[in-house]
Structure 1
Amino acid sequence: MRFAISYQSPHHGVDPGNLVAYARHAEECGFEGLYLPEHVVLHPGAALRSVELPPTMPYLDPVDALAFVAAATSRLLLGTGVLLLPYHHPVPLAKRLATVDVLSAGRLRLLTVGVGALPGEARAVGVDFATRGRRADEAIDVLRLLWSGGADGVSNDGEFFPFADLCSFPQPVGGPLPIHVGGSSPAAARRAGTRGDGWFPGGTLPPDERARQLEVARTAAAGAGRDPAALEYTRWAPIDLPEQSLAAYAEQGVTRLVVSATATDPAAQRAQMSAFAARFGLGAGR
C-alpha cells in the first residue's frame, strides 16, 4: 500500500509558505506524493451533489502549483486530483505537463483526470457539457500520442482535436506519463479500464456501488485487451484512519490511499501528517 496526501487550497489556503511547508513536511514524513484539485472557475449557485460551492473558494491552478511544489521538494511525486481534462486543449496541456515532469526530474507520476460536473464551468470555457466524456477520451489519446511521437510528427483525425504532423518536445521522462482516471460514475470506471493506468473513484460512493464500478473498470480493461491486474486503484481515506482499517482496503484491491489534513492551523496540519506517518510507518514521522 502506498500513501499520498492532498493539499486542498479552498481549505488549506493559498499562502505560498504554507503550501511549501505542507509539501516539504509530507516529503519528510514519507508520503509518496502530493495531489492538488482543480476548478477552472466557479459561479454563484455552483453545486456538487446538492453541496453548494461558495464562488470565492480559492482553487490554485494545479499544474502551476505543482511546478512551485516541485521546486521546493526533491522526492515527492506530483499529482492532480482531479485535472478537469475536457476544459483543457490537449496540445498545450501536453507541453505544460511535460515541462513540469522534466523540470521535476520525472516526478509528475500521479496525474489524475476527470470530466467535471458543473455545466456552468464547461460553458465558461466554451465546452458543450454533453460532449465532455468524448473530449476526455480523445484528449487522453492525444496526450499519449504527442508524448510518444518522433521527429516526423504525429497526426490526429479526431472529433475535437484534429491536427497533422506535430512534434511536442520535451517529452516526459521515460515516455508518456501515467494517466489515472477519477470520477464517481460507471462511465469514469469504463474510461479507467479502457484508457487509464489507474482508477481513483470519488469519496462519496457507497461501498456496493464502488465495488460494482471497480468491476466495470476491470471488465473494460479486459475487453480492451489490457491487463486488469495492472490497473492501479487509488482511494480517499480519512487522515485519522485507524491502523486496523488498512486490511479492509487491501482486501478490496486498493493500491494507494490519499488523505488530507483537516486542521486549519498549519502547525496542526503538520501534526496530523506526522501522526499518520508514525501510525503507518511511512518514514521519519516528524
Structure 2
Amino acid sequence: MPDHPASPFPVAPSGQALTTRYQDWMALKTNLLWIYEGDIPLDGGGGSLFPESSVAWLVLSGALTVSYAGQTIRAGADEWVIPRPGIRRQDFAPGTHLLSIRFQAQWPDGRPLFDEGLGVSFPRHRFPDLEVRARALLGAARDHTPADDPTLLGIRHFSMGAFIGIKTRLLEFIGAFSGALIACGLKPTRLGTRDERVLHALSRLDNQPLSHKFRERDLAVEVGLGLSQFVRLFSAEMSLTPKKYLDLRRRETCKRMLINSPIPLKQIAHDLGFAHASDFSAWFKKNHGIAPKEFRDRFPQGSNL
C-alpha cells in the first residue's frame, strides 16, 4: 500500500491556525465504525436516524436526498455529502452506489468535531485528497471487513498492528475531511483561545467519572475563583454552565449505552450516578420525552449507511 504523508493541520480561511492545547486534543474520541464501497442496502431508501457519529458519502452513481431541521441536500454522482449528525431522513435513488465512511470524531460531551454549518455537499474534484485518504482507509480496512455486512467491523478480531494501521489511516482521513470543511467555511468545535482556568475545568469535566457526585463550587475553588465568577467565565466561553456541560456529557453517554449495548437499565443508572433506577428513568424522560426502555426499543437498527 502506498504511503500517504499526513495532511497539515487545517488553517482557517483568514490564515489563522485553528488550534487548542495538545492535552485538549487528547480528549477527542476518534474511531472508524465502518467503511465500504457498494450499492445501498435494500432497506436504506429512507427513514429517520439518530446516529451518534459522523458520516461522509461519496456518491459514485445514482442520487440521494437528505432532509432535517428544514434543510434539504440533494446530490448526484461525483459529489461528496457530509450531513449534520443527528435525526434526519435520507432517501437514495434505486441503484445508488456509494463510498460510505461512518466514524466518530467527538468530544466527551458528545459534540462532534464539526457541527454548526453542516450539512454540505461539494464536487468530488474540489478536494481530491479527501478521496485519496478515504480510499487509503478503505484499503486498510478491506481485509477485515465482513463481506456480508460491512457495518459489523466492530465485532471482528484485530491484531494490534492492524488496528493501528486503520487508526492511522482514519486520522489522515479526518485531517483531509477537516481541511475540506474548513475550506467550505466551517469551523471545528471547541477551538480557539480560552482562559486557562476554563481549559483546566474542561479537562476535569471531561474526565470526571459520571458515577461520582459533582459540585460546581469544588471546581471553582480548584481554579481559584468564586462560584459565581467561575460559572460566569465558563458560560461565556462554552455557552453553558459547568453543571449543564457535565449533564450533556451524561446524556450523550447514556444514549450511547442504550443504543450500542445490552447493559441492563439498572446498571446504566448506577454508572451514571443515580441511586435508584426510578430517578434515572425520570431524568431521562425529562430530557428526551420518553422512557429509556422505549428509547432503546425505538432506535432504528435497520439502516447501516
State the TM-score, normalizing by the size of structure 1: 0.32
Larger radius of gyration: 2
State the TM-score, normalizing by the size of structure 2: 0.30
